[in-house]
């Protein structure tokens, strides 16, 4: 996916991509290409792959919600997908990047500084530990490539305010994952409010984004420690 096609595709999808945002997206791309050589940030190694499989994929999950002066936590942010891209596209959205690996946190801090992303906060912690401090604090949450849905829900839903929205970025197995997560959805009082399916422009891989809304306060016993969550998902 060439740069020109990337930007025109986003504009055609209705995203506002001005020159400031273009500049930040390209600087971010350059930083990934530079640091990926030594930090293993993403399996995609070329400019074209990153633009399509990381950038376009992530930005397309930004549905038409009101993000102005709202808060979002990106759980397991890794190299910043989708959280940094959300912060660039929506400069009035306050984004927290939650990442447990210190070397990736170091990279995220470099990106924040170089791109002057004042709307980003970076925390080095696991989601189940951070829930003690960030419980029911956020308007939105996101996760991409972190875990199966039945595990993600227990980690993420406690962080959301009532009526908060969880954006789950998934591939073609999304609905199969959802079937395995029906009990978790019921226990955690969550309902799906939207599904968005699309294909990447050039390689045609399927992406499915699922949007869930929290209906009630989450029981304080969730999330459990990660070993229990993984051993016996809800």
The whole-number pLDDT of residue 40 equals 84
- Length reported for the chain: 234
Answer whether residue 134 is part of any domain.
yes
The whole-number pLDDT of residue 121 equals 98
The whole-number pLDDT of residue 82 equals 97
Answer whether residue 50 is part of any domain.
no
The whole-number pLDDT of residue 2 equals 82
Answer whether residue 59 is part of any domain.
no
Percent of the chain exceeding pLDDT 70 equals 100
**Structural domains counted in the chain:** 1
Beta bridge partners of 169: 144, 209
The whole-number pLDDT of residue 107 equals 97
Question: For residue 146, how far is the Cα from the chain centroid?
Answer: 9
Average pLDDT over residues 178-185: 97
Instruction: Kindly report the CATH number assigned to the domain that includes residue 136.
Output: 3.40.50.150
Answer whether residue 22 is part of any domain.
no
Average pLDDT over residues 8-37: 94
207 vs 226: CA distance, rounded Å? 27
Answer whether residue 44 is part of any domain.
no
The whole-number pLDDT of residue 63 equals 87
Average pLDDT over residues 170-193: 96
Answer whether residue 187 is part of any domain.
yes
Q: Provide the pLDDT confidence category of residue 176 given band limits of 50, 70 and 90.
A: very high
Q: Provide the pLDDT confidence category of residue 1 given band limits of 50, 70 and 90.
A: confident
119 vs 159: CA distance, rounded Å? 19
Answer whether residue 201 is part of any domain.
yes
Rg over alpha carbons for the chain, rounded to the nearest Å, is 17
- Evaluate if residue 7 carries a pLDDT over 90: yes
The full DSSP string for 10-37 is HHHTT----HHHHHHHHHHHHHHHHHHH
Domain assignment of residue 85, given as a range: 66-231
Alpha-carbon distances of 6 from 14, 15, 22, 25, 58, rounded to whole Å: 13, 12, 10, 11, 12
- Evaluate if residue 64 carries a pLDDT over 90: no
160-170 and 138-144 beta bridge pairing: parallel
Percent of the chain exceeding pLDDT 90 equals 91
The encoded tokens of residue 170 equal: 């998934």
pTM of the predicted model as reported, rounded to 2 decimal places: 0.95
Mean per-residue pLDDT of the chain: 95
- Evaluate if residue 181 carries a pLDDT over 90: yes
The whole-number pLDDT of residue 214 equals 98
> Tens digit of pLDDT for each residue in 97-156?
999 999 999 999 999 999 999 999 999 999 999 999 999 999 999 999 889 999 999 999
Answer whether residue 79 is part of any domain.
yes
The encoded tokens of residue 49 equal: 């792959």
The whole-number pLDDT of residue 199 equals 92
Q: Provide the pLDDT confidence category of residue 171 given band limits of 50, 70 and 90.
A: very high
């Amino acid at each position: 996916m060439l740069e020109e096609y990337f930007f025109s595709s986003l504009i055609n999808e209705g995203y506002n991509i001005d020159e400031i945002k273009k500049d930040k997206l390209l600087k971010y791309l350059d930083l990934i290409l530079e640091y990926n050589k030594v930090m293993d940030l993403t399996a995609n190694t070329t400019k074209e792959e990153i633009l399509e499989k990381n950038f376009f994929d992530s930005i397309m999950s930004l549905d038409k919600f009101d993000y102005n002066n709202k808060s979002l936590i990106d759980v397991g942010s890794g190299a910043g997908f989708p959280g940094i891209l959300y912060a660039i596209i929506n400069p009035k959205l306050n984004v927290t990047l939650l990442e447990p690996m210190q070397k990736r946190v170091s990279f995220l801090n470099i990106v924040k500084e170089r791109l002057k992303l004042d709307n980003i906060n970076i925390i080095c912690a696991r989601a189940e530990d951070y829930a003690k401090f960030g419980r029911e604090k956020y308007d939105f949450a996101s996760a991409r490539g972190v875990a199966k849905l039945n595990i993600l829900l227990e980690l993420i839903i406690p962080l959301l305010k009532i009526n908060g929205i969880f954006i789950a970025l998934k591939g073609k197995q999304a609905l199969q994952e959802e079937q395995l997560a029906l009990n978790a959805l019921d226990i955690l009082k969550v309902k799906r409010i939207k599904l968005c399916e699309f294909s990447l422009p050039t390689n045609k891989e399927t992406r499915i984004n699922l949007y869930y809304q929290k209906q009630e306060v989450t029981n304080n016993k969730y999330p459990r420690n990660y070993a229990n969550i993984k051993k016996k998902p809800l």
